[in-house]
Amino acid sequence: MGLSCGIIGLPNVGKTSVFNALVGGQGLVANYPFSTVESNVGVSVIPDPRLSVLAEKFRSKKVTPGTLEVRDIAGLVQGASRGEGLGNQFLGQIREVDALLHLVRCFDDPEVVHVPGEVDPVRDVAIIENELILADLAIIERRRERLEKRLRTGDAAVKKELDVVSRVESLLAEGCWLSGRVTDPEEQKRLKDYQLLTAKPVVFVANVSEDAEPDDPVVQAVLNLARERQTSAIVLAGKVEAEVASLPASEREEFFQALGMNESGLQRLMAVVNDMLGLITFFTAGEEEARAWTIRKHTTAREAAGKIHSDMQRGFIRAEVFAFEDLVACGTLAAVKEKGLFRLEGRDYVIQDGDVVYFRFNV
């Protein structure tokens, strides 16, 4: 599977409801901790109105949107870094994803138990972050001890890595979330190798009730936390979004229009996740199928061909490319070609968001 994000948070904060809304799944929603043990895994469609335009212009028989893997990870509790509440298993699931959606409970509901007690986003976020920081600190401390033993050999590479590890250890000891704090490319590569939890980018998701007010102090506390962490926050009513996601597409649009909304909270959330992961979309389009492909920024044409099939990457010859915006402006593919906007690009061409591509390759 490609890129993925994991939904984390305390038990009973609405993670599975949001997961079901994102992927149209049927994960178990229950009023007790650890109803999710093995992470639910699903695929979320990335909405993109450009795809329907392409399908119409090429009269495509099939339309396939871009997707992102989503994992509903069981609720963490205080002591998870020491294995409490099946913490070791859940932390391992977090290591496997590329980004985190930190779901924070911002609603009161006497019928849904909140493990720590009353609703308090600042405390709840601190519980989760502290456990992930402690888990990372244990990994880094062990790494530092091994490097210090090897330092006696006088290996310059060991000394260089030890400097990185010592800096990271200091940040963790201060209670810092590493993502956004470590910007040096070499240090970022090291963090990826160590699979540190706090090196993953995170979006805060304030899960509110249907009648929540925008200026609710509880919601504002989550928004303030996001600003402090220099990251994004989304406010959504997870239960409502899950119910609406089960409706036919036409009824979903009517529902949000009735509320005066151009898009759902989930659409806003997916846009933020895409931006956080540095994702862009290119398209392939023809009579048989119009399809969106999700890739990271700075992906070359040859690498993008491999997204479709490994044979395309191995036998890559060239990419035939035009921009979606040019097709809309010109009206037809023939007009795009007449105006010289249809290009032939080599293997090192960097795919741009909105490129429509046809790959030529040897079998």
Does residue 240 lie in a domain region?
A: yes
Residues 244 and 161 in one domain: yes
Helix (H, G, I), strand (E, B) or coil at 68: strand
CATH number, position 26: 3.40.50.300
- Structurally, the chain folds into a number of domains equal to 2
209 with 324, same domain? no
- Within a domain: 198: yes
- Torsion angle, CA of 200/84/73/120, rounded to 10 degrees? -80
pLDDT tens-place string over residues 108-152: 877 676 666 788 999 999 999 998 999 999 999 999 999 998 887
Confidence band, pLDDT 50/70/90 cuts, at residue 288:
very high
128 within domain boundaries: yes
Please report the pLDDT score of residue 31 as a whole number: 40
Q: Is residue 283 part of a domain?
A: no
pLDDT, tens digit, 9 for 90 and up, residues 184-229: 887 888 788 888 999 999 999 999 988 878 789 999 999 999 998 8
287 lies in some domain: no
Looking at the fold, whether 272 and 341 belong to one and the same domain comes out as no
Q: Are residues 308 and 245 in the same domain?
A: no
User: Could you give the C-alpha distances from 241 to 11, 104, 267, in angstroms and in order?
Assistant: 19, 16, 10
pLDDT of residue 32: 37
- How crowded is the C-beta side of 29, counted as CA atoms within 13 Å? 17
CATH of the domain at 302: 3.10.20.30
Among 276, 308, 327, where does a domain finish? 276
Please determine, for residue 87, whether its predicted confidence score (pLDDT) is greater than 90: no
Residue 74 forms part of a structural domain: yes
User: 105: how many CB neighbours lie within 10 A of its CB?
Assistant: 27
Give residue 356's domain range.
298-361
pLDDT of 270 > 90? The answer is: no
**349 Cβ partners below 8 Å, 6+ apart?**
300, 301, 319, 321
Task: Tell me the average pLDDT of the chain.
Answer: 85
The answer to whether the CB of 357 falls within 8 A of the CB of 300 is: no
Q: How high is the pLDDT of residue 38?
A: 59
Rounded CA separation 189/178 (Å): 13
